[in-house]
Every structure is written in C-alpha cells, then in structure tokens.
Amino acid sequence: MMQFMLLFSRQGKLRLQKWYEAHPDKLKKKITRELVALVLSRKPKMCSFLEWKDLKIVYKRYASLYFCCAIENDDNELLALEIIHRYVELLDKYFGSVCELDIIFNFEKAYFMLDELLLGGEVQETSKKNVLKAIAAQDLLQEEETPQGFFEDHGLG
Amino acid sequence: MSTIIRSLTTPTPKRLRDLIREIRSARTAADERAVVQKECAAIRDSFRDPDNTYRCRNVAKLLYIHMLGYPAHFGQLECLKIVASQKFTDKRIGYLGAMLLLDEKQEVHLLVTNSLKNDLGHQTQYIQSLALCTLGSICSTEMSRDLAGEIEKMIKSSNAYIKKKAILCAFCIIRKVPDLLEMFIPSTRTLLNEKNHGVLLTAVCLITEMCEKSPDALTHFRKVVPQLVRILKNLIMAGYSPEHDVSGVSDPFLQVKILRLLRRLGKNDTEASETMNDILAQVATNTDTSKNVGHAILYEIVLTIMGIKSEAGLRVLAVNILGRFLLNNDKNIRYVALNTLLKVVQADYNAVQRHRTTIVDCLKDPDVSIKKCKVTSNFISHSPTKRWHIDTVMKVLVTAGNYVRDDTVSITIQLAAEMKELHPYIVQQLFKNFKDHLDEQSLIQVSVWCIGEYGEHLLTGECGEDEPVQASEDEVVTELEKVLSNHNLNEITKEYAITALMKLSSRFRTSIGFSLLEQMPLIETSRSKNILHENSSENLLNGISEEGDVQKENKKNLQESQNILDILDVGSPTQPAEPPPKSGVNDLLDILGDVANVTSSTAPVSIPNTQPVPMGNDLMDLLGGSPINNQMNGGNGFPPMTAFNKNGLLVEFLIEKDISDPDVTSINIKATNSTQSPMSEFVFQAAVPKSFHLQLNPPSGNSVPPANSGSVTQLIKVKNPSKQTLRMRIKISYSHNGQTVTDMGEVNSFPATLWQ
C-alpha cells in the first residue's frame, strides 16, 4: 500500500501532498523536508529507488516536478513507477500537456484526479478513460451550479 | 435582497487564483508571509460571517496556504460546515479540506462521521464517492466501526464506480480494525466473478489483506486459487484492449495484484502451489519485456515463484529472469534484481551461482554496488573454488571498497590468511590493484595488511600464474608511504600501513629497515594531524561551512607552520609572530610532519599535492605554496579589487595568475579595518560555482586591527578548467564591539581577461 505521495519542484517547493497513513502535522512536515532534501541530492544517473526507514521511496522527475511516493517493503517498486506514470498521463490528458504551473494554480484538481486513481493508497481504477470520465462528470456538476452572470462572482475564482 | 445589499457593502473575497498569483509574486519570504498573514486574517473574519456564499472559496485558499507550510487548523470546522452544504462544489472542496487538514487524531471526527453517513446514502454517485474517498483517507478506529455496516452494503452495489471504492474502504477498515474482517467475508467471495477491472483489482487487494490478517481467511480463500488462475489466464490471452493495456501488457496493475495474492495463498501449501505452476510459467515466458511495465510483472512473478512451493524448473526460470534483469540497461531493473537475488540466494544458491559472473560484472554502477556487496558477501560462502572466492572479494573491494560493511575487512583478511597456497597470488594481485584505488579504504586496509604479512612474495615475483607481479623492496615501501601521506585515507587505514611497515622492517633484508625506523615518528605525527585536516577539507568540499571550524583548523595549521619558520629563521611578513605554542622546538620531525599539511592545505582536488617523503622538498613546497611567498612575489598584473566595503571593513582582492598552471588564479585577500576598535573572530569564506575548484588557504590571523593599522590576509586559489566567467559569493563574519556581524556579498567584477 502506498503510504504517501509528494509532488515538489526542483527548488524543493511542495506542490501536492497526499497521506494515506495518519500522522500529526509536525511529523508530516519533517518527513517532507527530509525526503525532499534526500531526493533532490540524488544524481540523475542514480536509480529511482531508495530505502528509507522501513519504507521504499520511489521517485521520478517529470520536467521541473518530482513525483515521489513511499511504498511498503513488500510492494513492487517497478509498478509504483507505473502508478506515478499513470497519474502523470492523467494530468496530461486533463490539462493538455500539463506543466508545473497547471498544478500550482489548479492544485485542487490535481487532488481530485489522484483521488479517482487511488483510494486508501491502492489503485482503484486501471482504465484512464474511466478516471477522466468521472472527473469530467464532476466538473460539470460544479459548473452547472456556479452562476455565470455578470454581477455574480461565485465559485473558487 | 439582503445578499445584494451585503455584496454591495462588503468587498468580495479575493479569488483563489488571484491569491496564488499574489503569493507567487512575493519576492522574499517576508513578503510572502505578509501576504499570507493578511489573507489569513481576512479568511478568519469571513468565517465568522454566517453567510456561506464564499466559505468554499476561502477554504480552498486556506488549503493552498496550508501546502506552503502555514498553520491552517482553524479551517477544520469550516470544512465540515461546507460539507453539510447542498452544493457539489462545497462538498468537493469541503471533503478535500477534511482529508488534508484532519487526520485520525482529531476530535472533530464525530462530526465528520455524521456527514459521511449522510453522504454515503446520497442519491448522487459522485457525492457518495466523495464520502467514500474521505473515509478511506481518514479512517479512524471509531469511524471504521461506525461506518463498516454502510460499507458492507455498498460493496453489494450494482454500480461498479461505487463498488470498487467501497471495497477499498473495507480494505482500509480491516487494516485499521482487523476484528471487523468477518463481516466482509461473505460479500467478498462473489467479487471475483465480476468483469470490471476496477472491482476485480480492489477485490484482490481486499482478499490479500484479509489473508494477511487472519489465518482462517487464508484457508478460506485458498479455494479461489483456480478462479484467480483463470482471471490471470484470460488477461494474458486477451487480445489488445486499449482501455487496460500499458505498452502491450494487459492490465499490469491487476496482474501484479493477482500474482501477489497467489504468492500469499501458495506459501507453504503444496496443493495451491501446484494449481498455479502452469500459469506462472506462462506469464513468465509470455510477458513482453521491452518496457518497465513488463519487468514489473516479471519481478512480481519471480517473488511468487520463490515464495511458494514451486517446481525446481520454475525456480531456475525465476533466477534466470533475474539474471537477464542484471544485463538490462535500466538501473532500476538492475537494482530490483540485486535486491531480489539477495532475498532468494539463501533459498536457492545453486541457481544463483550460475549468474555470479554477471553479478560481479554489474558492480560498476556505484548506486547499485551497495546492494551488490551484500549479495556477494552472502553468496560467496557457497563459492566453488578458493581462487574464485578470493577473486570475487577482491573485485568487490576494488569497485566498492567504501560501501562494504565494516567487518568485511577482518573477514577478508582471515580468508586470505587461511589460503596458504594462494598467498603469493593474493599479495601480488592486491599490490597491483591497490595503487590505483587509493580511495577505497577497505581495499587498502586488506592490501596493506597482506603486504605486511606476505610482502616477501612480491620480491620473488613467483606465484604460478601467467602474469606474476614483482616489486623491489623500495617500490613496496614507497607505495606504503603513499598511503601514509594520502589525505583522503582515514586513521585506521594509516594504522594498518604503519603496522605493515613495521613488519616489513624485520622481513626485508636490505637497509630499508633502517630508514624506516627513522621515518616512523614523522609518519605518525603526520597521520594524527591529517585527521584535523581531513575534517576541514570535507567541510569545504561541501561548500561553505557554517561554523568557523575550518578557519580554526586552518589557523592551527598555520600557526604551526609559522613555528617552523621561526625555527628555521625565515621571516614572516604577514603576521606579527605569535608566541609558539607548547610544542616548541624539541620535536623538529614532528613539526615537519605538519608542514606537509600546510602546503596542500584544504582542497586536495585543485592543486597537485606533494609527497612529504624527502624532507628537503617539503620545505620548498611550503615556500612555494604558502600565502606568504606569493605575496612577496608580487608581480600581479591586475589592479586591486574592492570585494567588500561596509561598516569600516574593507576587503580587497589582489589577483594574480599562477605561473605554473594557466587555469589557476591566486587571489590574495586583504582585510583592513578603519574603525577604532578591533574586529575579532574574523572569518572570510568564499564559494564558487561547481565548475570551479576553490582552495581557501589559512588566514594570517583572525583579528583585524583598528584604524587601518594592520590587516588580515588570506590566499584563495581558484582553478577554472572550463574557462568560465568567475562569480564568487563571499561570507564574512566578525565580532565588533562585542557584537557578532555576519554579512554576505557577491563578487562578479573579476577582470574579463583573467582566463583568456
């Protein structure tokens, strides 16, 4: 089971954090700090896995963004890379060649997407089409209830 | 009407994207903090307002602020408020906030549980989905107990979208509260008949967890092995399905999960293992391995084959798969293979033995070699011949000597000692190899020990091999002395070398023994100083050290060097002579040992080091490399540069080219103080981009005298092999009138002609 997933920039700025195991806020921050530093210090030709405490860290860099997740010891790290890749593909389809800025400005959408792919740290849907369909339907619900009139200024903006 | 009036009287809260834009445009951390604090105050105010119109937007903004690391717990209750709203947007953001801001240690759970209970029964599937997702994310013990019944009902739903999510919620609940497992077993059994991949995948996941948690469940689910085999078979036989294929592999996520469950079910169970033998062989041979995804499946299948009571042939197949992994270009795959070999070597070392050459070959990757060493040391105990055994160990030490466990050295020495007939071969091979790998501590320790013990075999040059190695006594001693003078080696390694020299002094016949005895004290002190020295060079390589340690160490060195100058009656123009420290004159050799350190002061990379062996040369080197000398030489073709001028402290750079190396520029730093009180604890630090090598020599003192009555000087050498424009960042700290002053600056105005 995946324990958490972190997205951060090359400068070490956190872009998304999803925790599937409960931790106090302070500990989450400490773990994040530690791992960001650890991953950023790795050289490009090093492999994507590292052992960290009793977990395995799997990370991959896509353009300026690092996708980093922690899996348990008996999990398959090669498959974890596929899960990360699947998530990137989904974001890419949704935003249309996704870049870091998309994720910064639409962080809530990046979370929604992740929540349709994983639940409780496990993959729930292996069809990209189904994930995107569910997201599109929910976006539509949101649009329909947001008044679009001239004087109105609702929604998230 | 009232809302219209309100919207006219109170300003609309900032939009989410506008806030993000504003925060991103903040130039400093302080600016960002100010923006965030102002917005947080506004958000707090708006939360007090009973009007719900903008609550959702404000929570969303708070979530962004939370991600930046600012406190946002005051938004917890607001999340629950908007979760109770009728609008989908509100619920969507509210539950997202609940997942991010609440974890299972919060007291507000009862409120969340009520909202979840309501929404799990909602008629809109997407609202049900939000509730399921949130339950899976928070899933506290009480919540699990309160909602398990609802989840059990939802697992039976005919809607696959809800069903798969409910199954994973059950998975979370069981993880949290294993005794709720029983109630889910009946509804789980039929799930494997489903066609939907999401449902199948999550069901396999749930069953696996049940088997982990309860032996009864494990026995119960052994019955589904044939069913799982069928699903797997259908998967690999099915033609291309664009929905579930990943680079030509049919739903790898599902395949891997099934293989993992099979492993659990087949463990220690002959019957279940037999049922899955065929399909395992089929998957192992039919999976396309052109991409990572195929390897993910093969990796899982190897684990399953080795984890169950599989046939011998299948095990060989599994180990061969790992053998092929080792030849792969992708280092991730090699890493996984080595890791797995480590696990299976105990179980099946005969099969692993066949791949030993490949394993040793893939040592070259430093990232993987750590794993490698473990593997090797694990399976060399089953080695076919002594010769192969010692060869492998030597290869490991040559390639990854710094990564092996501490006890490897003693184990290897013991091993070598036991192989009496191989002593000539071992010592000759080690002597040949260690000279070229002066950075592998363990290799050197073993080599030096063997040379000390069996050094006489080097002189005869006979070992019954095709290419014997021969060396004279002089050569052997010279190599050992190199170990002693190498700054990158640690104390223990040098102790090994000294012991070896001692042994050889009685074993070698000629007069070398004599000269050795003379040199021993020299070497020993040089060693102890090197430890100080090693620390400082480490710090510098890591960039600017935060503490003044480096400077302190350097100063120590410099003081000692000046003592020599005193002794030898060489004037010291840079610093008023300080009283020599306790060591005094009585141990000339001792001090000369230190001289070697001063010359090659800090950065071993940039400037070629000299060996301290002949004493006369040392002194020459000292004069050649010291800041003192360079300043006396003068001859600089560049005008002095002001690098820093603030609060009465003026730091000037006197730049000159190094005559011996066109890539090297020497910069003499001169710090003067125009105030009326001294600046003590003066530390100057510099950093340059990675393409440069920087050597910071010890300063002439640490106190800048007042009223320009004196100066502190320090020499920096910058090597610029790629001939780029030099940029330098400097950090200055000192204590002035009892106050510590720290300042930083950048020096970019170096003469352009410097490296042309």
Distance from CA of B3 to the nearest CA of A (A): 11
Nearest to A47 among B133, B205, B367 (CB): B367
Higher pLDDT, B96 or B597: B96
Query: What would the DSSP string read from start to end of B182-205?
Result: HHHHHHHHGGGG---HHHHHHHHH
Nearest to B93 among A24, A108, A137 (CB): A108
Distance from CA of A104 to the nearest CA of B (A): 8
Higher pLDDT, A151 or B584: A151
Distance from CA of B294 to the nearest CA of A (A): 9
Task: Say whether A82 and B254 touch across the interface (CB within 8 A).
Answer: no
The 10s digit of each residue's pLDDT in B68-125 is: 999 998 999 999 999 999 999 999 999 999 999 987 666 788 889 999 999 999 999 9
User: Which residues does chain A have within 8 Å of residue B172's beta carbon, measured at their own beta carbons?
Assistant: 120
**Is A75 within 8 Å of A55 (Cβ atoms)?**
no
Distance from CA of A32 to the nearest CA of B (A): 11
Task: Say whether B251 and A141 touch across the interface (CB within 8 A).
Answer: no
| Domains of chain A by start residue, with CATH | 2-154 (3.30.450.60)
Nearest to A49 among B252, B293, B335 (CB): B335
* Percent over 70 (pLDDT), chain B: 74
Distance from CA of A16 to the nearest CA of B (A): 7
Task: Report the residue count for chain B.
Answer: 756
B500 touching A (Cβ < 8 Å):
no
The pLDDT of residue B8 is 53
Task: Say whether B89 and A76 touch across the interface (CB within 8 A).
Answer: no
Mean pLDDT computed over B494-513: 76
Distance from CA of A21 to the nearest CA of B (A): 8
Distance from CA of B1 to the nearest CA of A (A): 14
Query: How high does pLDDT run on average in chain B?
Result: 77
pLDDT of residue B612 exceeding 80 = no
The 10s digit of each residue's pLDDT in B678-710 is: 888 888 888 888 778 888 877 888 888 888 888
CA closest to B164 among chain A residues: A124
Q: Which of residues 324-383 of B touch A (CB under 8 A)?
A: 331-336, 367-368
Nearest to A104 among B20, B129, B336 (CB): B20
Nearest to B201 among A45, A104, A123 (CB): A123
**Is B681 within 8 Å of B735 (Cβ atoms)?**
yes
Tokens representing A146?
A: 């947001």
Choose the mutation target among A115, A139, A141 for the interface with B, i.e. most B CBs under 10 Å.
A115
**Is A6 within 8 Å of A63 (Cβ atoms)?**
no
Higher pLDDT, A20 or B695: A20
Higher pLDDT, B411 or B301: B301
Task: List, in order, residues 6 or more apart from A70 with CB less than 8 Å away.
Answer: A2, A3, A4, A5, A35, A52, A55, A56, A57, A58
Q: Give start and end residues of each alpha helix (H) in B68-180.
A: 76-83, 88-101, 109-120, 125-138, 141-155, 160-176
Task: Say whether B103 and A23 touch across the interface (CB within 8 A).
Answer: yes
The 10s digit of each residue's pLDDT in B321-357 is: 988 888 888 889 988 888 888 777 666 666 666 666 6
Residue B532: other Cβ atoms inside 10 A: 17
The 10s digit of each residue's pLDDT in B435-467 is: 888 778 888 888 888 888 888 888 887 776 667
Lowest-confidence region among A96-105, B503-512, B532-541: B532-541
Task: Say whether A81 and B132 touch across the interface (CB within 8 A).
Answer: no
Mean pLDDT computed over B510-515: 50
Task: Say whether B367 and A45 touch across the interface (CB within 8 A).
Answer: yes
CA closest to A139 among chain B residues: B89
Strands of the B739-747 sheet, one edge to the other: B679-687, B728-736, B739-747
Q: Give start and end residues of each alpha helix (H) in B455-587.
A: 456-460, 473-485, 491-507, 512-541, 549-567
Query: What would the DSSP string read from start to end of chain A?
Result: -EEEEEEEETT--EEEEEESS---HHHHHHHHHHHHHHHHTS-TTS-SEEEETTEEEEEEEETTEEEEEEE-TTS-HHHHHHHHHHHHHHHHHHHTS--HHHHHHTHHHHHHHHHHHEETTEE----HHHHHHHHHHHHHHHHHHS---SS---S--
User: Which residues does chain A have within 8 Å of residue B126's beta carbon, measured at their own beta carbons?
Assistant: 134, 137-138, 141
Q: Which of residues 550-589 of B touch A (CB under 8 A)?
A: none
CA closest to A30 among chain B residues: B69
Element (H, E) at B688: none
The 10s digit of each residue's pLDDT in B282-320 is: 999 988 888 899 999 999 999 999 999 988 889 888 888
